[in-house]
């Protein structure tokens, strides 16, 4: 776990515990600080070493939280958190994972029954003790019992790469219903976050109940189903449906896409204009005595489309991937929104494998697959031997040259670039002889071993290597499994930009590395981005969309992306 996430988790825990105690406002402050630390592109220990003032540079982190961050980095503890843990000695994170159980419930059940963890909770529910607690009843007890098992299993967020295909199947099913006039994803899935907590789908229809019923006929367990919303559990994920009328489609889509912080910025902007924004539309409340009197108070000025919602606030439509409260509203206001790269802009793939190393397909098969996918060019970059390449996966320098010869000789519809995925050792050196690298068109260099600690110097050294063209999956993270290297992205991006080395967005859904926040920093520093699939078989070329949307989350335009260039443009970049 990167230390940013580790620190953020501690602050989130403080928020939960403060909320359990009934403290107002502080929980929100801690959560916002935690979110911003988690997403910050500079390693938190680097900032902590520079002192409290440096930590305070992170948005929503003030004096008090910065001091706790420094304390945590230096001592591994936050004294106040330890006190809070002593006050309420429970596994608050595990308990809150139970649907319907929040901080207050955790505190109440500890006080009344001494519930400390999921096992205690289950025992208390089975013994019928929970229904006897004041404020609780048999229904709550039953719900807790029903939801405990899912809480035990689903401690991880689902990968985008799993959730997106499920969402598409659900949307296809919904669109089969004649009364459905529009259907789309919402939530973090529509923002293409690398992991999602659940799958949100939204439908426009005048026949809410019929659509909900149709939804429950999808092959899945029904959690709940009302007149306009319902939830299923499918493939280990929760799928939430909402049905709205067509006139409120845009408002609902905007609202449920979030992020929450993005929506707060919009609401505050609305208030400045005597407008009110909610999931039903934008309303002019200038002549209204009490704007809070109801959800559709005032005159509706927008709501049918998402664009109308933004237009009512004097803004252009902001693409979902940007809606993370990272300055997108200010940029939109100033007319400075990026013209984001799109899937159709991508013309090739510069990081792929064949059965010469650990791929499943021959050189010819990969080239044919690339042509079928619609690419103009493909770089064949099999693994070199070196640190991290166990079990004979990597091929020797001589074999690399033999594969290159096969690539050159291939009769291919796409332009074929020879290449290698070399390994960046812990000291930053590259594991292939210089004279071999010189023979190859496209040299990808990636870290495959020693994937913890600070990797900044290592990546800077690789970026400065004259033969290296692309830094592959720079941090080496694996979602839900390995945090990967901590890096100072500004330093890495500066070195990449200065040395004409591209930084990869590895589109494999287990990686999505670089992540969006790092991409934005890299683009800001003038670095070139390569969106590659790391395909080990032709079917994996489809991963490209996950990479493209990650690029969009990083505010990247087509001009920032190496493989949005034509084959000659790429050849120029590679120095051919």
Residues near DNA (CB under 7 A) = 19, 22, 24-26, 28-30, 33, 59-66, 96, 98-106, 131, 134-141, 143, 187, 197-198, 200, 224, 226, 228-229, 238, 240, 256, 260, 263-264, 267-268, 271-272, 276, 278-279, 292, 295
Closest distance to DNA from the beta carbon of 131 (Å): 6
Closest distance to DNA from the beta carbon of 525 (Å): 24
Closest distance to DNA from the beta carbon of 214 (Å): 18
| Cβ nearer to DNA, comparing 73 with 370 | 73
What's the residue count for the chain?
576
Q: Kindly tell me the burial class for residue 299, based on how many C-beta atoms sit within 10 Å of its own C-beta (0-12, 13-18, 19 or more).
A: middle
How far, in Å, CA of 140 to CA of 254, rounded? 32
The residue written with tokens 């006080």 in the block is 111
- What are the strands of the beta sheet with 529-532, ordered from one edge? 419-423, 442-446, 470-471, 502-506, 529-532
451 within 8 A of 444, measured Cβ to Cβ: no
| Cβ nearer to DNA, comparing 51 with 137 | 137
Closest distance to DNA from the beta carbon of 517 (Å): 18
> What stretch of H or E contains 445?
strand 442-446
Closest CA to 90 of 38, 139, 23, 21: 21
Closest distance to DNA from the beta carbon of 438 (Å): 51
| Cβ nearer to DNA, comparing 92 with 561 | 92
Closest distance to DNA from the beta carbon of 187 (Å): 6
How far, in Å, CA of 23 to CA of 10, rounded? 17
| Cβ nearer to DNA, comparing 72 with 417 | 72
- What are the strands of the beta sheet with 182-186, ordered from one edge? 182-186, 199-204, 237-244, 229-234, 221-225
> What stretch of H or E contains 276?
strand 275-278
| Cβ nearer to DNA, comparing 133 with 525 | 133
DSSP designation for 182 = E
| Cβ nearer to DNA, comparing 131 with 169 | 131
Closest distance to DNA from the beta carbon of 415 (Å): 46
Q: Kindly tell me the burial class for residue 177, based on how many C-beta atoms sit within 10 Å of its own C-beta (0-12, 13-18, 19 or more).
A: middle
34 within 8 A of 6, measured Cβ to Cβ: no
Closest distance to DNA from the beta carbon of 177 (Å): 20
Closest distance to DNA from the beta carbon of 128 (Å): 12
| Cβ nearer to DNA, comparing 177 with 233 | 233
Longest CA span, the chain: 80
Q: What is the CA radius of gyration of the chain?
A: 26
Closest CA to 162 of 197, 214, 187, 202: 197
Give whole-number Cα distances, 569 to 167, 352, 370, 464, 559, in Å. Answer: 36, 19, 18, 21, 11
């Amino acid at each position: 776990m990167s230390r940013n996430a580790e620190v953020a988790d501690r602050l989130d825990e403080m928020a939960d515990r403060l909320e359990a105690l009934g403290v107002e406002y502080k929980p929100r402050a801690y959560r916002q600080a935690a979110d911003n630390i988690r997403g910050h592109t500079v390693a938190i220990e680097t900032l902590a070493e520079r002192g409290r003032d440096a930590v305070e540079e992170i948005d929503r982190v003030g004096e008090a939280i910065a001091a706790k961050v420094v304390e945590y980095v230096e001592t591994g503890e936050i004294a106040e958190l330890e006190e809070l843990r002593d006050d309420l000695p429970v596994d608050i994170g595990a308990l809150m994972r139970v649907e319907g159980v929040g901080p207050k419930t955790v505190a109440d059940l500890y006080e009344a029954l001494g519930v400390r963890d999921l096992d205690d909770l289950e025992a208390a529910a089975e013994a019928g003790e929970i229904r006897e607690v004041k404020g609780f009843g048999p229904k709550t007890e039953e719900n807790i019992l029903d939801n405990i098992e899912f809480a035990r299993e689903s401690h991880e967020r689902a990968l985008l790469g799993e959730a997106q295909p499920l969402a598409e199947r659900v949307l296809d099913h919904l669109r089969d219903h004649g009364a459905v006039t529009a259907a789309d994803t919402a939530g973090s899935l529509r923002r293409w976050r690398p992991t999602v907590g659940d799958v949100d789908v939204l439908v426009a229809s005048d026949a809410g109940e019929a659509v909900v019923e149709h939804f429950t006929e999808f092959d899945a367990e029904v959690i709940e189903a009302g007149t306009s919303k319902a939830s299923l559990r499918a493939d280990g994920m929760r799928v939430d449906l909402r049905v709205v009328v067509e006139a409120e489609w845009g408002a609902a889509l905007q609202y449920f896409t979030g992020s929450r912080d993005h929506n707060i910025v919009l609401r505050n902007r609305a208030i400045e204009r005597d407008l009110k924004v909610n999931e039903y539309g934008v309303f002019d409340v200038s002549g209204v005595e009490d704007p809070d009197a109801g959800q559709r108070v005032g005159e509706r000025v927008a709501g049918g489309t998402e664009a109308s919602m933004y237009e009512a606030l004097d803004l252009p439509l902001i693409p979902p991937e940007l809606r993370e409260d990272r300055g997108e509203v200010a940029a939109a206001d100033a007319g400075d929104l990026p013209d984001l790269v799109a899937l159709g802009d991508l013309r090739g793939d510069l990081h792929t494998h064949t059965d010469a190393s650990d791929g499943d397909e021959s050189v010819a098969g990969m080239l044919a697959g690339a042509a079928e996918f619609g690419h103009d060019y493909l770089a064949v970059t099999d693994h070199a031997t070196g640190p991290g390449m166990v079990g004979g996966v990597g091929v020797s320098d001589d074999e690399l040259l033999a594969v290159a010869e096969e690539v050159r000789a291939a009769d291919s519809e796409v332009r074929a670039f020879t290449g290698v995925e070399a390994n960046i050792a812990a000291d930053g050196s590259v594991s292939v002889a210089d004279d071999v690298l010189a023979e190859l068109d496209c040299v990808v260099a990636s870290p495959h071993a020693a994937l913890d600690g600070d990797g900044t110097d290592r990546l800077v050294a690789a970026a400065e290597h004259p033969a290296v063209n692309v830094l592959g999956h720079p941090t080496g993270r694996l979602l839900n499994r390995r945090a990967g290297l901590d890096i100072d992205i500004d330093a890495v991006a500066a070195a990449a930009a200065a040395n004409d080395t591209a930084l990869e967005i590895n589109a494999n859904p287990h990686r999505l590395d670089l992540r969006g926040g790092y991409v934005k920093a890299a683009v800001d520093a003038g670095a070139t981005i390569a969106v590659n699939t790391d395909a080990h078989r032709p079917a994996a070329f489809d991963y490209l969309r996950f990479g493209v949307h990650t690029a969009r989350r990083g505010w990247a335009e087509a001009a920032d992306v190496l493989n949005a260039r034509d084959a000659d443009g790429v050849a120029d970049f590679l120095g051919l």
